[in-house]
């Protein structure tokens, strides 16, 4: 199976990159399933139902969220009715929505998607290691799912990597989101799980992690109250990872980064980008 994961979508530039480039990337790579982290899609803070619908129309199968899950209040009433929209599994019991699901591809294969959020330098949620282990037990690769994608929404790279090793041999892909910076450590762990600490954001990299530079610079240098930060509006780089799995085991045969457009050095799994 061929899987795609794209990192945090940042504002309008990121949304445009998803809606215009995901259809051609999906076709060029003959991808079976696409996951996008959309927690910053609405002006940098959360996501809205219309944005979700735009992403689904562009060929996105599942959208994951994170610590900005509830920034747009209308998503609270929407998420319970939309199984393709996932929030971190380790939010407390009773939180709207769900943190995992199994989805069927056009060819009838089953893909499990799980999201957990780290606790280092983040909100004090329930234990992400226990939450991840519980879902991997419940949605066992090769039994409940033909492939499994885990979104690790972490601030600390150490926590992301520890969670990735927790999933090793039990997931097709464990990939980080949240930092908005693509890491250079795409690899396949010893147990067969593809891993990258952060897929990087889909947004304008002439920025401070996707935000227009002026306000973050003022906050860092002057330590004075400022107006609300807004996303940078230049051309976005579409950042993500491509994974090919063994149909017998569901484990990874190959992982490769994707970077298209914008300011970053391009990366593409094949000889020529679309």
209 CB-near residues (< 8 Å, 6+ apart): 10, 179, 180, 181, 201
Active-site residue, selected from the candidate residues 68, 153, 178, 180:
68
Strands 110-117 and 62-64, by their bridges, are unpaired
Q: Which one-letter DSSP state was computed for residue 119? A: -
Known catalytic membership, residue 68: yes
61 CB-near residues (< 8 Å, 6+ apart): 33, 34, 35, 84, 103, 105, 111
Q: What Cα–Cα distance (Å) separates residue 268 from each residue in 65, 248, 257, 260? A: 25, 26, 7, 8
Which residues carry out catalysis? 68
């Amino acid at each position: 199976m061929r899987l795609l994961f794209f990192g945090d979508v940042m504002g309008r530039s990121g949304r445009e990159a998803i809606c215009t480039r995901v259809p051609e990337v999906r076709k060029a790579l003959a991808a079976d399933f696409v996951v996008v982290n959309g927690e910053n899609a609405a002006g940098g803070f959360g996501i809205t139902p219309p944005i979700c619908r735009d992403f689904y129309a562009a060929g996105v199968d599942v959208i994951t969220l994170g610590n900005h899950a509830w920034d747009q209040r209308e998503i609270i009433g929407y998420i319970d009715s939309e199984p393709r929209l996932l929030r971190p599994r380790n939010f407390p019991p009773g939180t709207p929505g769900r943190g995992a699901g199994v989805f069927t591809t056009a060819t009838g294969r089953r893909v499990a998607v799980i999201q957990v959020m780290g606790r280092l330098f983040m909100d004090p949620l329930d234990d992400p290691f226990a939450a991840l282990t519980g879902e991997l037990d419940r949605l066992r690769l090769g039994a409940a799912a033909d492939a499994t994608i885990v979104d690790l929404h972490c601030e600390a790279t150490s926590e992301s990597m520890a969670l990735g090793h927790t999933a090793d041999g039990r997931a097709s892909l464990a990939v980080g989101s949240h930092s908005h910076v693509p890491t250079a450590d795409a690899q396949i762990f010893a147990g067969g799980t593809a891993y990258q600490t952060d897929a990087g954001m889909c947004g304008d990299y002439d920025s401070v992690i996707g935000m227009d530079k002026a306000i973050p610079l003022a906050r860092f240098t002057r330590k004075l109250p400022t107006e609300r930060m807004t996303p940078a509006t230049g051309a976005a780089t579409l950042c993500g990872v491509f994974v090919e799995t063994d149909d017998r085991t569901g484990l990874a045969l190959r992982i490769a980064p994707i970077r298209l457009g914008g300011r970053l050095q391009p990366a593409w799994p094949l000889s020529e980008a679309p």
